[in-house]
């Protein structure tokens, strides 16, 4: 699975959009981009995933560049509860029986 690069930390103001970048320049054509987050001392939580097209759900939006070498997770109106470590993961299959390898992630701090 391709490696990802994320900034170690970011912060944003409560109520503003949080845009978390991820670089995956070695991604191959059939690899998916997954985002998870981990709130302190809890298990990770699935946020969203995509292959080529932009995706949106009730939690976030995922914007994938046309060349698929990078993506951005957008939390449209960040709240204090969104403070967490966000992991961008590239995975070879859209199959939950296939292992998920975590990188170092981005620690997002949402400021009051």
Partner 1 sequence: GAVVSQHPSRVICKSGTSVKIECRSLDFQATTMFWYRQFPKQSLMLMATSNEGSKATYEQGVEKDKFLINHASLTLSTLTVTSAHPEDSSFYICSASRAGGGTGELFFGEGSRLTVL
Greatest distance between any 2 Cα atoms in the chain: 40
Distance of CA 104 to the CA centre of its chain: 12
Site string for partner 1, 11-50 (x = CB under 8 A): ---------------------x-x---x--xxxxxx--x-
Residues 6+ apart with CB under 8 A from 65: 71
Residue 57 sits in the site that holds partner 1 (CB under 8 A): no
Q: Does 53 bind partner 1 (CB under 8 A)?
A: no
Q: Which residue matches tokens 């298990």? A: 43
Q: Name the residues that contact partner 1, by CB under 8 A.
A: 32, 34, 38, 41-46, 49, 85, 87, 91, 93-105
């Amino acid at each position: 699975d391709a490696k990802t690069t994320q900034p170690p930390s970011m912060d944003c103001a409560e109520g503003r959009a949080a845009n978390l970048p991820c670089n995956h320049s070695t991604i191959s054509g059939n690899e998916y981009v997954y985002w998870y987050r981990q709130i302190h001392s809890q298990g990770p939580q699935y946020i969203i995933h995509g292959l080529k097209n932009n995706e949106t759900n009730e939690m976030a939006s995922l914007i994938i560049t046309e060349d698929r070498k990078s993506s951005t997770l957008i939390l449209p109106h960040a709240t204090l509860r969104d403070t967490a470590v966000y992991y961008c993961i590239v995975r070879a299959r859209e199959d939950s029986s296939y292992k998920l390898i975590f990188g170092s992630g981005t620690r997002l701090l949402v400021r009051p």
